[in-house]
């Protein structure tokens, strides 16, 4: 778990010479970053204690999130500076809209969630806040801002996915495959690439832009916690909830 930090990247380098820009982002997002990666919902995916009802609730919300994530990737493909980055991002977009989409459809069927439910599901307040942040950052913000949001979402899932992959797989295929999708070598390679891309670009940004990028990563981490919390407990947070505040 990174220690909490609230200084600039230059300050961070003074305390951790040679430190990575992405390590600074994670440290600035504490405690939310670690809370997201270790949320009880993620542990229950791997240890076979996940209630079906909570997982169905999660998948319905997450399908709307992943739909907006696909649009986010479209914006990032357009903004990426050259072919190597466009190729990485579009490769992941292809995976999301094929293999991962297929995973959702098979899981909905197994859990008895009808197409009209997941195709027309209204987003709850957390997913709405997520979508606004993702789509605004990648559509109206800079490449670095959109990339910071993508990094947080995928790095968090790689972190818990790899941890849970160290245990025997649960019986339900929808839990076992969700772990595999987030622990497989191709996914790890993609997250390693996003980190390297952010580590390359981040240090070249002016300080106010670095701070904006760190703020987005922190807000995304907060929303990852709120998302797990809402699907785990079934409680819908109101506007007064700290996790929804920017």
Ligand X SMILES: Cc1ncc(CN)c(N)n1
Separation CA 126–CA 231 (nearest Å): 10
DSSP 242: G
Structure tokens, 110: 């197994």
Specify the length of the chain in residues. 246
CA 23 distance to own-chain centroid: 16
Let me know: does 34 contact 2? Beta carbons within 8 Å.
yes
**Interaction mask 175-214, ligand X, x per CB under 6 A:** ----------------------------------------
- Binding of ligand X by 157 (CB under 6 A): yes
Let me know: does 121 contact 207? Beta carbons within 8 Å.
no
Q: Shortest gap between Cβ of 157 and ligand X (angstroms)?
A: 4
Position of minimal CB gap to ligand X:
153
Which of 16, 66, 95, 184 binds ligand X (CB under 6 A)? It is: 66
Residue whose pair of structure tokens reads 């997250």 in the numeric block:
191
- Binding of ligand X by 103 (CB under 6 A): no
Q: Shortest gap between Cβ of 36 and ligand X (angstroms)?
A: 9
Residue of 61, 145, 197, 224 marked catalytic: 224
Whether cis (ω within 30° of 0) applies to the bond prior to 31 is yes
Q: Which residues are catalytic?
A: 224
Question: Binding site for substrate: what residues are annotated?
Answer: 62, 100, 154
Residues that bind ligand X (CB under 6 A): 62, 65-66, 69, 153-154, 157, 224, 227
């Amino acid at each position: 778990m990174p220690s909490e930090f609230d200084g600039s990247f230059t300050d961070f380098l003074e305390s951790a010479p040679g430190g990575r820009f992405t390590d600074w982002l994670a440290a600035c997002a504490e405690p939310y970053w670690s809370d997201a990666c270790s949320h009880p919902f993620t542990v229950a995916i791997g240890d076979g204690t996940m209630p079906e009802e909570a997982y169905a609730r999660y998948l319905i919300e997450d399908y709307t999130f992943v739909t907006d994530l696909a649009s986010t990737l479209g914006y990032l493909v357009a903004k990426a500076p050259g072919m190597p980055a466009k190729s990485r991002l579009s490769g992941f977009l292809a995976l999301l809209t094929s293999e991962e989409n297929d995973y959702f459809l098979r899981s909905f069927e197994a859990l008895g969630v009808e197409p009209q439910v997941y195709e027309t599901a209204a987003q709850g307040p957390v997913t709405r806040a997520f979508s606004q942040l993702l789509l605004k950052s990648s559509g109206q913000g800079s490449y670095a801002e959109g990339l910071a949001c993508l990094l947080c979402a995928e790095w968090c899932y790689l972190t818990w996915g790899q941890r849970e992959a160290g245990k025997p797989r649960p019986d339900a295929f929808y839990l076992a495959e969700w772990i595999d999708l987030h622990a497989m070598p191709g996914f790890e390679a993609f997250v390693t690439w996003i980190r390297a891309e952010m580590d390359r670009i981040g240090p070249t940004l002016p300080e106010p832009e670095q701070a904006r990028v760190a703020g987005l990563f922190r807000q995304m981490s907060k929303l990852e916690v709120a998302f797990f919390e809402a699907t785990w407990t079934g409680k819908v947070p109101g506007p007064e909830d700290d996790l929804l505040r920017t």
